[in-house]
Each structure stands twice: as structure tokens, then as C-alpha cells.
Structure 1
Amino acid sequence: MYGRLCSKVGCAREAVATLTYDYGDQMAALGPLGVENDPHAHDLCAIHAERLSVPTGWIVVRHETLQA
């Protein structure tokens, strides 16, 4: 297998996006799959990237290529 899998527990789909958090700014950034596997980021499949939710008061920044 060459691709990376979704980080969500129990999901075996191929990852297409990478999620990172900035706790200080209460922000989540979702972009295209990172070039390398970053232990501080979460790789998500298309379904989990679309369903992403964050705590109340946080903002989500989505990279343009992921928006439908």
C-alpha cells in the first residue's frame, strides 16, 4: 500500500486531506494531504474531512482545493 490511511479510529479509507490545529488561536486548518506523514497532524479521508467539526468558538480554515 502506497497511500496513507485516515487517522479516524476504525476507518480504513485512503487519506486525502491533512488536519492541523493551532490551539492558541483556536483554529483548525484542513488542506490537501501533506507530502510527508507528520506525527502532529491528522490525515483524513474525504468523508471525515467533509464531516469535520471543531469545538464551539473555533474556526476552520479549509484549503480551496477541498471545498465543494
Structure 2
Amino acid sequence: MDERLCSKVGCAREAVATLTYDYHDQMAALGPLAWERHPHAHDLCALHTERLSMPAGWLVIRHEALRA
């Protein structure tokens, strides 16, 4: 997997997580960096992952990598 940068405008940090949305269900899923880029997903750096906020009423599901 080649290095990917954060999708936030003006951010040049390395991406560590991938964010996807379901607008109809007002839900967002944040998980480990996806293996491949996807046009409907947003890659985020650690800073923007921590600062993530969604509109009022939205559900955010945070998937964490399994640890051995």
C-alpha cells in the first residue's frame, strides 16, 4: 500500500483512518485505513480522526483495529 495523505484541505499528514458516510441513515463509519482509495471515502490523519465531529443527530461508528 502506497502512502496516502489526509483528505482535509491543506493537510499534508499521512492518513491513518478512512471515513465513510450514509447520508440517508445519518451515519458515519470511521475505521482503519482502507487498503485502496475509494472515491466516496475520506482518508484522515490521526489529528483529524481525533477532531472528527458530525452534525447533530448523526451516529458515528468507530471501528478499531483488532489488537493481538
- The yes-or-no answer on 1:17 pairing with 2:10 is no
What is the TM-score when the length of structure 1 is the normalising length?
Answer: 0.90
Which stretches of structure 1, 4 residues or longer, exceed 2 Å deviation after superposition? none
- Identify the residue that residue 36 of structure 1 maps to in structure 2: 36
Question: 1 or 2, which has the higher helix percentage?
Answer: 1
Unaligned segments of structure 1, at least 5 residues? none
Superposed, 1:1-68 pairs within 5 Å as 2-65=2-65
**Aligned pairs, number:** 64
In structure 2, distance between residues paired with 1:27 and 1:3: 27
CA distance in 1, matches of 2:64, 2:43: 17
* TM-align CA RMSD: 0.7
Which TM-score applies when normalising by structure 2? 0.90
Could you list the per-position Cα deviations for residues 4-55 of structure 1 after superposition, in whole angstroms to 9, with x for gaps in the alignment? 0000000000000000000111001000000000010000000001100000
